[in-house]
Amino acid sequence: MLESSGRNNPLDDDFFATIDSDAKAYLLGWIASDGSIHKNGSISIYIHQKDAYVLEQLRDAVCPALPIRPKKGTLLRGLSFSSKAIVRDVCRWLGITPGKKDAVVRFPALPTDALKWAFVRGFFDGDGSVSSPRAGKKNGTPYPRCTIASTSEKLLEAIETFCAIPCHRGRRHIEWAGNNALDFMARIYEGAPTALVRKRSLYEDWAAWVPSLSGTGDHGRELSFRWVKCLDQARAPTKAHASDSGYDLMLLEAGHRVGKVQFFRTGVKIQPSYGWYFDLVPRSSISKTGYMLANSIGVIDRTYVGEVLVPLIKVDENARDLELPARIVQIVPRPIVHAAFIEVPSLEESTRGSGGFGSTGVR
């Protein structure tokens, strides 16, 4: 074990005196989850050999000279180092004493939210789990589910409060499901310099995955969208014909007004299934009313659970006021695309080039 004493020892006793980098906060999360803090003034972390590469990243953050060794008779690999000063600082950050960690560990009072998210990422990579979208896999589910386990109720409560993403908290775990799971994983993994690839890859799979509607895909099943009535006379979105692309909404009451824009109530709250959102668009019959949709196309995100309000503006001053109920708008389900935008020096040449606004066919 590498110790802090000795003239040629590169281990920095003040490494955790302040936590001012993603790497330090991430390592602290790993220590809080999978680390052991011993009474002799040492710290050790052991993980499965398939994830041993992350040990190198953790090791390089604190001291590249630390050896990574197998644990005899197991599939574990680990690193250990001895520094009473580092142990003292880690215990101060986590509110613990050496030899007693799991049930009493606290959420550290790190100086920035970015560092707190890095700590949560480290803790999740150590003691978290993610369901798989792939059929046939153990834990396969039709929507994402991720869990953090801990015997420290105070730590779980603090993580729930800090993350501020709706979840279910039990005595020994926190679970995020569906869109909330996706939002949680995005906060810890998007742009993260260090992460457990196995779990981050599951997040990327979920971000890009759209459920199958037939029996041949990953989770073939009937597609359904949940809705709630918030006006007694509200009606479910419906199609006039099975071949129609959109589902008609009924405008029931005039709501508030902003300038020339009048909002109309539909009396329904709608939540898409995982992997979908809605476009709110006009029906062709709106052209006969003298009104138009004020924002051309409205996007109903999968996390919006409020009443669907329809903003209209009167474009024909001579038109009569809208007769209610009115069936002049519709919602169209759309699959969500999740992509990364990569900055490059230049783009490929094309026939059209940079011409726009009516330049097609113009030479």
For residue range 296-311, list pLDDT tens digits in order. 889 998 889 899 999 9
| String of DSSP letters for 197-243 | HHHHHHHHHHHH----SSTTSTT------EEEESSTT----B-SSTT
Q: Are residues 203 and 230 in the same domain?
A: no
Strands (E), the chain: 2-3, 35-37, 42-48, 68-70, 76-82, 128-130, 145-149, 168-169, 173-177, 226-229, 247-251, 253-258, 261-271, 276-282, 291-293, 298-300, 307-314, 326-335
In a domain, 213, yes or no: no
Q: Are residues 55 and 117 in the same domain?
A: yes
CATH of the domain at 77: 3.10.28.10
Q: Is residue 49 part of a domain?
A: yes
My answer on whether 78 and 14 are in the same domain is yes
pLDDT bucket at 33, cuts 50 / 70 / 90: very high
pLDDT digit string (tens) for 110-155?
A: 999 999 999 999 999 999 999 987 654 555 567 889 999 999 999 9
Q: Are 128 and 254 in the same domain?
A: no
Q: Is residue 349 part of a domain?
A: no
Q: What is the CATH number of the domain that holds 249?
A: 2.70.40.10
218 in any annotated domain: no
- Assess whether 83 and 150 both reside in one domain: yes
Domain co-membership, 180 together with 99: yes
Q: Is residue 306 part of a domain?
A: yes
Mean pLDDT of the chain: 87
Tens-place pLDDT, residues 58-89: 889 888 888 899 988 899 999 988 899 999 99
More confident residue, 221 or 68: 68
Count of alpha carbons within 13 angstroms of residue 170, beta-carbon side: 9
Whether residue 363 is contained in a domain is answered as no
Q: Is residue 57 domain-shared with residue 122, that is, in the same domain?
A: yes
204 and 268 housed in the same domain: no
d(C-alpha 25, C-alpha 115), whole Å: 6
Number of domains in the chain: 2
- Decide if 345 is inside a domain: no
Residues 235 and 194 in one domain: no
Examine the fold and report which residue of 208, 240, 259 is the final residue of a domain before the chain moves on: 208
- Indicate whether 194 and 281 sit together in one domain: no
Alpha-carbon gap, residue 258 to 229, rounded angstroms = 25
Is residue 340, in this structure, part of any structural domain at all? Answer: no
Task: Give the end of a domain, one of 208, 243, 267.
Answer: 208
Do 135 and 174 lie in one domain? The reply is yes
Give yes or no: residues 15 and 134 share one domain: yes
Q: What is the DSSP letter of 285?
A: G
Task: Note down the domain range covering 111.
Answer: 2-208
pLDDT digits (tens, 9 = 90+) for 318-334: 999 999 999 999 999 99
pTM of the model: 0.72
Q: Which residues lie below 8 Å from residue 172, measured CB to CB, with a gap of 6+?
A: 149, 150, 151, 153, 156
Whether 280 and 299 have beta carbons less than 8 Å apart is answered as yes
Which residues are within 8 A (CB) of 265 and not within 5 positions of it... i.e. 6 or more apart? Answer: 231, 251, 252, 253, 254, 255, 307, 309
